[in-house]
Amino acid sequence: MKKRVVFLMSDTGGGHRAAGRALEAALDIRYPGLFEAVYVDVFREYWPPPFKYAPELYPKWVKHSITTYGWYYLVAEGLFSLPLTRSTLPATVAEDKARHLVNKYRPDIIVVVHGGFSRFAAGARNRLRLKLPIITVITDLAKPHVAWYHPGVDRCLVPCEPAYQRGLKLGMDPIKMRVVGHPAHPKFARYQGSKADARRELGWLTDRPAVMLLGGGEGMGEIEEIAQAINAAGLHMQLAIICGRNERLRRQLEAIPWTLSAQIYGFVDNIEVMMHAADALITKAGPGTIAEAAICGLPMILSGAIPYQESPNIDFVVDGGAGVHAPSPQDIVATLREWLRPGSRALADFSAGARRIAYPNASLDIADEIAAACGVLAVV
């Protein structure tokens, strides 16, 4: 009988569900046929308004008022940092919610992939006095929110050494923590083609550098402004722009009179091929994208970040030698001009830096942690 993994997440952005899908794929690789995955959007099912509507509100909030969202994040961080708050972290949740979670979803293990729900998971287990294993997989990167670090879980798997040290400062038991990396989908590490193979697969040109411009699943950021600046710069390169679900952005970009070879995409499911085909990536400092690019050895130009939540990721990438921070379209063009200059070693050096901060086996290692918690032996 299959073991049921219940992922506690929310569709506030695509990163939490994507982490679950990556772990689901890793479990299928390591333990074929032995696990099944269920996804529970805790905000939708168990939180009162307005949090119940967070999946709908979050992308609008970040898009239209990113500064106020950053302040909200910082205030929540402060509240969870208070000694009184942290001393009550293992508090139970309402019994009806706990029973609903267990009776409806029948978990063999709970895996938390959203910073707000470790307390909910531990509280439900406490309320019902279960022996149900709980693993938190932190999907932030350089400086995870305080709420991720809950003393009541069995394992807390962190993405990098700074996140591990943060857990120690917050009083986490070091035995419960392990640095495993961000759970990128196994397909990023398992792609076997060369750069030329990837370009042929995509129909990209093979005689000039390729730059990706990525706005995440929702096509966020100053994508059009950056694209226009690159188009006017006269650089010898090709450009691939991924708009995600932002159809309005896609139409705007398709209407541009391009002076260089430009490929415009909506939502795609072969980002791993594109990252292996590209020479450089322009994106905001989202943890999932950074982890994926690092595995592919792809140099990063970070154009921005959600304040406080993602901004520490910029220093993580820059200090690791994996990329640069270029906050304006003009800065991005200047960086590309330097990177693509004949004889420049920048791309090779930053590619090596990206690989140094990568954890290509993260999702497989986490899959092993999940299996061990369930008493499942590796399939040889």
pLDDT tens column, 203-236:
999 999 999 999 866 656 789 999 999 999 999 9
- Containing 127, the helix (H) or strand (E) segment is helix 118-128
Which of 154-158, 339-343, 375-379 is predicted least confidently?
A: 375-379
Q: Answer whether residue 271 shows pLDDT above 90.
A: yes
CA dist 296 and 188 (Å) reads 7
Spatial contact of 220 and 287, defined as CB atoms under 8 Å apart: no
- Band (pLDDT 50/70/90 cuts) for residue 64 is confident
Report d(CA 295, CA 191) in Å as an integer: 10
pLDDT of amino acid 284: 94
Going by pLDDT thresholds of 50, 70 and 90, the confidence category of residue 239 is very high
Q: Taking the alpha carbons of 24, 151, 320, 67 in that order, is the dihedral positive or negative? A: positive
Side by side, which strands form the sheet with 134-137? 35-41, 3-9, 109-112, 134-137, 155-158, 177-179
* Neighbouring C-alpha atoms within 13 Å toward the C-beta of 334: 9
Does the N-terminal peptide bond of residue 32 adopt cis geometry, omega within 30 degrees of 0?
Answer: no
Residue 237 has pLDDT above 80, yes or no: yes
Q: What was the pLDDT predicted at 73?
A: 87
pLDDT computed for residue 74 by the predictor: 84
Determine the Cα–Cα distance for residues 10 and 268; give it in Å rounded to an integer.
21
Sign of the torsion formed by the C-alpha atoms of 178, 179, 181 and 186: negative
Q: Could you give the CA distance from residue 34 to residue 26 in angstroms, rounded to a whole number? A: 12
**How many other C-beta atoms lie within 10 A of the C-beta of residue 209?**
17
| Rounded Cα distance, 185 and 339, in Å | 28
pLDDT of residue 89: 54
Domains, the chain, ordered by start: 3-184+360-373 (3.40.50.2000), 187-356 (3.40.50.2000)
Task: Enter the pTM of the model.
Answer: 0.94
- pLDDT over 90 percentage in the chain: 79
Phi and psi of 260, rounded to 5°?
Answer: -130, 170
User: Under a CB-based contact definition with an 8 Å cutoff, are residues 93 and 127 in contact?
Assistant: yes
CB atoms under 10 Å from CB of 149, counted, come to 27
pLDDT band at 86 (very low <50, low <70, confident <90, very high): low
H and E: helices and strands count for the chain: 18, 12
Question: Which tokens is 95 given?
Answer: 């019994």
Q: Would you place residue 87 in the very low, low, confident or very high pLDDT band (cuts 50, 70, 90)? A: low
Judged against a pLDDT cut of 80, whether residue 84 lies above it is answered with: no
Dump pLDDT digits (tens) for 10-35. 998 888 999 999 999 999 999 999 99
| Amino acid at position 60, single letter | K
Residue type, 302: L
Mean pLDDT of the chain, nearest integer: 92
Position 137 pLDDT exceeds 90 = yes
User: Mean pLDDT lowest for which of 23-27, 55-59, 117-121?
Assistant: 55-59
- Which of 7, 83, 86 lies closest to 42, judged by CA? 7
Q: What is the DSSP string of 183-222?
A: ---HHHHH----HHHHHHHHT--SSS-EEEEE-TTTT-SS
Residue-level pLDDT at 51: 86
* Per-residue pLDDT tens digits for 33-47: 999 999 999 999 998
**Burial zone of 366 (CB within 10 Å; 0-12 exposed, 13-18 middle, 19+ buried):** buried
The per-residue pLDDT for 94 is 81
Which is nearest to 123 in space by CA: 90, 150, 97?
90
d(CA 269, CA 264): 14
